[in-house]
Amino acid sequence: MKAIFFDRDGTLNIDSHGYINDPKEMHLFLSSAEVLKYLKLLEYKIFIISNQSGIGRGKIAPDSYRRVNDKFLMLAGGYNTIDDILYCPHTPEQNCNCRKPELLLLDIIREQYRIDFKASYFVGDKITDIYCGKQAGLKTIMIDNSDSGPDDKFFYEGKVVKPGICIQSVEEILNIIEK
Ligand SMILES: [Mg+2]
Ligand SMILES: [Zn+2]
């Protein structure tokens, strides 16, 4: 089974100020829903892997997270399109093993859905997404719409991390994914 793992905020939806705690602030990028639907037709499983440290920091109440997530799921096509959504609620200081680039959430999905990582992708807007995907042996796609400067964008903990492919917006995925 092949899959595409997506980061959520800044990759599929607008990440207005870092912590989305109100469903009214959840807006997909224009083509996200269409892209997801099409990838599903290509028989990719679709998973969302999201760091939500705002929960651990007390900026997003667990119930707000659920309501925001419900809105995301509805806009993205529901469980017909999205196979599963996993998130880490911890802060970096908690040193958990589920916050990207840690691999626990990917490992859980690989086990549960028997995903072939060599045939699968990780798509994200941050270098931690790319580092995470590479560590897991996934192909990586960086959506370079983040506001970090050109100098620090491709570094993780002092090391250069090169995305497999860099694109400007989510619809470009359709040109590069193996059909
Ligand atoms: Mg992001
Ligand atoms: Zn965690």
Question: What confidence score (pLDDT) does residue 16 get?
Answer: 80
What is the average pLDDT across 53-59?
Answer: 96
* Whether pLDDT at 146 is above 70: no
Give me the residues near ligand 2 (ion), CB cutoff below 5 Å. Answer: 88, 90, 96, 98-99
Question: By residue range, what is the domain housing residue 43?
Answer: 3-176
Task: Give the CATH number, domain containing residue 150.
Answer: 3.40.50.1000
* Whether pLDDT at 127 is above 70: yes
* Residues annotated catalytic, as ranges: 7, 9
**pTM recorded for the entire structure:** 0.95
* Number of domains forming the structure of the chain: 1
CA of residue 151 to ligand 1 center, whole Å:
18
What one-character-per-residue DSSP string does the chain give? Answer: --EEEE--BTTTB--SSS---SGGG--B-TTHHHHHHHHHHTT-EEEEEEE-HHHHTTSS-HHHHHHHHHHHHHHTTGGGT--EEEEE---GGG--SSSTTS-HHHHHHHHHHT--GGG-EEEESSHHHHHHHHHHT-EEEEE----S-TTTTTEETTEE---SEEESSGGGHHHHS--
Summarised one tens digit per residue, pLDDT across range 13-43 is 999 887 999 999 999 999 999 999 999 999 9
CA of residue 60 to ligand 1 center, whole Å:
16
* Whether pLDDT at 151 is above 90: no
